[in-house]
Amino acid sequence: MRNLNRKLLLSLTILVGLFLMPISVNAARYYGVDSSRYQGNTLKKVTPEDSFAISQIGGYYNGTFIPQTTYQSQVASGIAMGLRMHTYIYMETGSNQVQTKQMLDYYLPKVQTPKKSIVALDYESGASADREANTDNVLYGLRRVKEAGYTPVLYSYKPYILSHLNRQRITAEFPNCLWIAAYRDYSVMTRPDYNYFPSMPGINMWQFTSTAIAGGYDYNVDLLGITLNGYKKEHPKSETKAIEQGQKADNTPKSAIQVGNTVRVKFGVKYWANGVGMPSWVQSNTYKVQQVSGNKVLLAGIMSWINVSDVEIISVTNNSNPIIGASYYVVKSGDTLGGIASRYGTTWQRLQELNGLSNPNWIYPGQRLKVTVNGYAQRAYTVRRGDTLSSIASRLGVSLSSLASRNHIRNINWIYINQRLLY
């Protein structure tokens, strides 16, 4: 969780670690990430064994709603990867049950994970000085989650619970409802060190690191199988829009991959389609498909071809109408981009921009090219020496975030001269 005081948490964990008894490690364990808008629209598996993920639907900060626009797409992408998806809400309402009611009235109807799945309340900041009033508020929230048909879970860290809540009252009514954060350190780790387990009654999940990968990713171990709730044989027991989108992508055959689909590079892939070695950091990352050629796809942003057997489909465009108002032309033998453009009263540069072609000569028979969208081609900007994404956004009168999102740019510092940016 992003609002956790990491330094305080680490120091307190180390201080109490010597006094804690490790739990039994014989039971089955499940591993998975938790995510918010900082992880973007699609999730990332940390290891091939990941089986669940928990996505933030939004937060409530002292009367202010902050919905996460990435929530639905994260749930859908997780379902497409075969993950059991769950939900959490950042809850900064202290002892104020009126605010908690407002928060849950707003977010519970928007939950996109299945009934009986986890809806966790992230209570790690904003507690009042009244310990019992804080507890009353948390219990009210957990009851509301249960009444709505979900599995109630409380996320926090042990010192915060001991200082601000009556843990005994909470676990008496909701046994094993605690999801606790406690880190050994900030080195990259994908399996927990049980010498640092934050022992106390009622724990079902342990967030044992915030650095499962370099650069950071919260990682969790499900100790009691609670992430199976809402799922039957790994499949959701009920449907939502996000689940429908994820299952559609999961059921789409590789032969039907289209431009605009999002794909994830599988673990263990070592080579691009041309036989050149692939950097290990590409594995498990997701990319938009920019071009399709036989059994190969060109990944946008990274501009490299990969075999379709080395990716899995995470999201698909609407095949019946991928872009509202779009017209298409199927390339024939002997066609050139300039010839197609003149046929439709436009320029080859506009068609290049509209289709995200890095080279206007890279077209082939059978390729579908957008020739107009609502009667005009999308606008594009060519990166020049000295440009930054921020300066380009300012020059074009668009936001930095929308420019990065439109062009599938994960790192705003990774742009290059002559790159075409749609806006």
Note down the domain range covering 274: 252-315
User: Is residue 308 in some structural domain?
Assistant: yes
Tokens for 92? 């900064």
Report the C-alpha gap between 282 and 387 in whole angstroms.
Answer: 26
User: Is residue 265 in some structural domain?
Assistant: yes
Same domain, 36 and 147: yes
Tokens for 69? 């626009």
User: Is residue 247 in some structural domain?
Assistant: no
* List of E strands, 284-418: 286-293, 296-299, 304-307, 311-315, 326-330, 368-373, 380-382
State residue 193's pLDDT score: 95
Indicate the pTM of the whole model: 0.70
Same domain, 54 and 144: yes
342 contacts 389 by C-beta, under 8 angstroms: no
Same domain, 307 and 212: no
Same domain, 140 and 219: yes
Number of other CB atoms surrounding residue 88 within 10 Å = 24
We report the CATH number of the domain holding residue 290 as: 2.30.30
pLDDT, one tens digit for every residue, the chain (423 residues): 644 444 444 444 433 443 343 444 445 799 999 999 888 889 999 999 999 999 999 999 877 888 999 999 999 999 999 999 999 999 999 999 999 999 999 999 999 999 999 999 999 999 999 999 999 999 999 999 999 999 999 999 999 999 999 999 999 999 999 999 999 999 999 999 999 999 999 999 999 999 999 888 999 999 999 999 999 877 787 789 898 888 888 888 888 888 889 999 999 999 999 999 999 889 989 999 988 888 899 998 888 899 999 999 998 865 433 333 446 677 888 888 888 876 665 677 777 877 778 788 888 888 888 776 444 444 567 788 888 888 888 777 677 887 887 777 878 888 888 777 776
Same domain, 230 and 278: no
Report the C-alpha gap between 81 and 242 in whole angstroms.
Answer: 13
